[in-house]
Amino acid sequence: MALSLLVLLAILSSGCAIPAPSVTLGRTTVVGRAIPEFQQEFFGGLPYALPPIGPRRLSPPVLTTQLNVETFDASEYGFSCVQLPQEQGVPLENMSEDCLTINILRPADLPRNALLPVMFWTYGGGFVGGNSSVYNASVVVAQSVARGTPVVYVNFNYRLGALGFPVGADAARAGSLNLGMKDQLTALKWVHANIGAFGGDKTKVTIFGESAGSMMTSVLFFNPDLEMFVRAAILESGLAATMGLYPPTRNQGSWDSFIAAIPECASLPARQLFSCVKNNASTSSILTATATVKAASLDAYQWMPVVDGDIIPDLPSKLLAAGRFAKIPFIAGTNLDEATGFDLIYPSYVVDSTDALKELLFQSVFRTSANPAALPSVALQRGVDELLKLYPDIPALGSPFGTGNATFGKSTTFKRAAALLTDMWFVSLRRQAMDAATAHGLQPYGYLFTQPQPEVPAAYGVAHGLEVPSVYGAPFDTSDSSVALSKIMVDYWLSFATSLTPNDGCGAPNGNRTPYTTRPVSRVPHSLTLNAIVQAVIQLNGANLTMIPDNFRSEQTMYMAANSALWGH
């Protein structure tokens, strides 16, 4: 009797098993994984470029659109790209240099000709960390189906650190600059070639990302090919010049220190060093050298995009002013207190006096020379002096904003620096991009995320990155207000991706959410154009979701925009 019951249970469980989804890509059957609780299908770890290993290390990606096998197991994510484990908590065994893979999440049982809009995500992580596997878009895709505007979600891995963003003269000569951004563009080309097999529409791709991912996405606006692959963008807390853009030799010292810490290469003649890193250095040596450089550097970012005359042809402020950017609709926004949390990650950003703040600005943030000790130009000295006048050491004016004279046990300079860098890196650049787009007949949408974060120490307010869980339908704060706001934000993003407006009337309770508009509210200038119209931005706050004038701290950001070249903007 017991044996009969076991047999019966086995038969029943076999009958209930959900078959693995599959698609045909060229001559290959791609087998994914069913996600029955969401009625979705996942296909992961698909290579979009040849492995950047061996002779292809430190080289531009080589697109591959075919798998050249009969069956491909796409049930799991691929390896994360090489990074220090402490950057994003990725264990060593889960990373590899062979990491250029792409992932697709879609509603179940799509016909090949479904032609759904596509949302293409680029993760952040300061160009040194991050991986696609931590971004679970099941809630987003489920909400897209529930509101009647289904989408296909895509994300991917790109190279990081010295392997993705090498700097210096040797990397420039080798054509090896900005490799991570070239990975991103290659992934978009893969989507253009293959997304139709998964039910996506290659003509309806919206790119979105946060922090470094948003910066990379913004850089693509200066690529003449972008409009072939993308029709819209959402930029969360990052524009092309957010951390400043400089020539490749600006961080030459980081590259030199990196090579000196690689045993296989340290003793070789200068002319052989780049080739040695490319061909001889072990992955372990590269990680050790990366940690050595990080520990010794005054810079928060040793590895980052540079002006290369190619994918970044010039300073973004010049390109925007000249109209040399993709004319596609976009949403761009910032969080209320973007720069408060950087002192937690980068010790050099802990400042406790005006002199210390000046040193940070001259030797790191605005440094143009490869030598951190080099005297700044007279123009930069004057510019910083003016900035410090515009951001006085008055806690009530600092960030986290709206917290009065509270200093949370920190120096008053903390709030001063956080306010200055919030505007320098985020608010001013978002305004410049919106002004340039408006001047060329576009109607960009802006936002300011101000939702309180009770799980975050009060000193950090609504800091950088805190909107991301809400965009994925999983806010840290599970209060009714926060959950409702998250649902509305997902609706705005989905509406924009599927109809090019955040206001399609679907989703949220009966589609009755605050209209997200671009209407002008005054003619007070705030940035590049003397007669610029001040745009309205939406305040993303569960207790007060409303359009607000985009003129807060306008004097400060107008000064920044008028002197863009000083800041590498």
Active site (annotated) includes residue 564: no
Look-up of token digits 């996942």: 42
- pLDDT by residue for the chain (569 residues), tens only, comes to 444 434 333 434 444 568 999 999 999 999 999 999 999 999 999 999 999 999 999 999 999 999 999 999 999 999 999 999 988 888 999 999 999 999 999 999 998 899 999 999 999 999 999 999 999 999 999 999 999 999 999 999 999 999 999 999 999 999 999 999 999 999 999 999 999 999 999 999 999 999 999 999 999 999 988 999 999 999 999 999 999 999 999 999 999 999 999 999 989 999 999 999 999 999 999 999 999 999 888 777 889 999 999 999 999 999 999 999 999 999 999 999 999 998 877 666 789 999 999 999 998 899 988 887 788 999 999 999 999 999 999 999 999 999 999 999 999 999 999 999 999 999 999 999 999 999 999 999 999 999 999 999 999 999 999 999 999 999 999 999 999 999 999 999 999 999 999 999 898 664 456 777 765 544 444 333 333 455 789 999 999 999 999 999 999 999 999 999 999 99
Predicted pLDDT at 369? 83
C-alpha 37/C-alpha 533 separation (Å) is: 47
Q: Which of 326, 131, 103 is nearest to 218 (CA)?
A: 326
Predicted pLDDT at 345? 72
Contact indicator for 58, 74 with CB cutoff of 8 Å: no
Q: Cα separations (Å) of 319 from 64, 208, 309, 325, 437?
A: 31, 21, 12, 7, 12
Predicted pLDDT at 349? 73
C-alpha 292/C-alpha 96 separation (Å) is: 20
Domain with CATH 3.40.50.1820 in the chain: 2-210+246-304, 332-567
Q: Which of 412, 434, 403 is nearest to 529 (CA)?
A: 434
Q: Name the packing angle between helices 212-219 and 179-194 (round to 10°).
A: 70
Task: Read off the DSSP letter of residue 26.
Answer: T
Q: Dihedral sign, CA of 244, 85, 342, 262?
A: negative
Predicted pLDDT at 167? 97
Strands (E) in 262-346, as ranges, are 330-335
Q: Dihedral sign, CA of 206, 211, 216, 222?
A: positive
What residue spans of 391-479 are helical by DSSP H? 412-422, 428-439, 468-471
Report the top-level CATH class of 2-210+246-304: alpha beta
Contacts of 508 (CB under 8 A, 6+ apart): 487, 488, 491
Predicted pLDDT at 521? 46
Burial of residue 51 (number of CB atoms within 10 Å: 0-12, 13-18, 19+)? middle
Predicted pLDDT at 348? 66
Contact indicator for 433, 439 with CB cutoff of 8 Å: no
CA dihedral 278, 284, 289, 291 (to 10 degrees): 140
Peptide bond into 400 cis (omega under 30): yes
Beta bridge partners of 537: 446, 548
Predicted pLDDT at 350? 82
Predicted pLDDT at 514? 74
DSSP 365-393: IT--SS-TTSPPPHHHHHHHHHHHHHS-S
Q: Are strands 28-31 and 71-73 parallel, antiparallel or unpaired?
A: parallel
Beta bridge partners of 131: none
Length of the chain: 569
> Out of 132, 138, 176, 211, which one is annotated catalytic?
211
Q: Domain 332-567: give its CATH superfamily.
A: Alpha/Beta hydrolase fold, catalytic domain (3.40.50.1820)
Contact indicator for 364, 347 with CB cutoff of 8 Å: no
